[in-house]
Structure 1
Amino acid sequence: MGREIREEEPARMPTMVLNHVSFVVQSVSRSVSFYEGVLGFTSIKRPSSFLFKDAWLLSNGLGIHLLESTEPEKLPRKKKKINPKENHISFQTSDMELTLFFHDPDGYMVEICNCHVLPVLPLPRSPVGSAALSSPQLKKKYIYITIFSRTINVPSEEH
C-alpha cells in the first residue's frame, strides 16, 4: 500500500487591482506635461525614499510612475507607426465612438477606447488564442494619429 497522492489546483493569488504602470522616459518634466495636459492626470507626492528623478501621476485610481533615464541615448528608438498589436496602455472613456491610438513623447503607445461597450464574457480555461469573439457588433473603428508631429494622419478603418 503506497501513499495516496492527490493532485490539487495551485493556490491562486487574491484578487488584485492594477495600481500603476511605469515608463522610463527621456525627460520627466516633458512627460508630466503630456500626461497632465493631454490625458488629465494629476501629479501626486512621490515616496521620499527614491533617490532618482521621477514623478508619480494619478487619474481614476490608476497611477503612472515616470522614471527619468540616466542614459537617454540607450532608450529604444521612438516608433513612428501605430500598431494596435504592440504593447500599449489603454484608457477607457464613455464619450468616444472610435478607438484612438497615438504615441506619448517617448514613443509609448496610448489607446483611448470605449471598451465598456464590449461584452465581458468569461471563457472556459483553454489555450491562449483558441477562443475568440466574432460578431459584427464587436468590430471597432480605429483612428491612428501622431502627436507632436508636423503632419497628422487620421485614417479610419473598420476591423
Structure 2
Amino acid sequence: MIQRPQSFKFEGAWLFGYGIGLHLIGGQPPHANRDVIDPKADHISFACDCGLEDVEALLIERKVKYVKAHVQEGGILVTQLFMHDPDGNMVELCNCDLLPG
C-alpha cells in the first residue's frame, strides 16, 4: 500500500507494486461506463515512467478519448490520464510512483 493523497475528498486506498496500482474507492463509486470517463469509477492504474506528455500526444494522435487530471500532494504534482481500453475497462496511466510509499 502506498500513501494516498490526502487532498482527495473521498475515502479509499491505493495498492501499488511492480508498476501496477489498484485504486480502491470507498462508498459506492460509479461503475465504468464506456460513454463517460470518470476518474472516480473502478479502474486499474499503471505507473508510467516513459513521459506522460508522449503518452498524451499518442492518445491525441490516435483520437483516443481521455481525461487528464492532476493531484498535488506535499508539493508533488501527480498527473493522471484516464481512458477506456477496447473492452471498456477504465485505465489510468500516471506518474503516481513520485508519491512517497
- Judge same fold: TM > 0.5, yes or no: no
Greater relative contact order (CA < 8 Å, ≥ 6 in sequence)? 2
Larger Rg over CA atoms: 1
- Pairwise TM-score range, normalised by the shorter structure: 0.3 to 0.5
TM-score by length of 2: 0.39
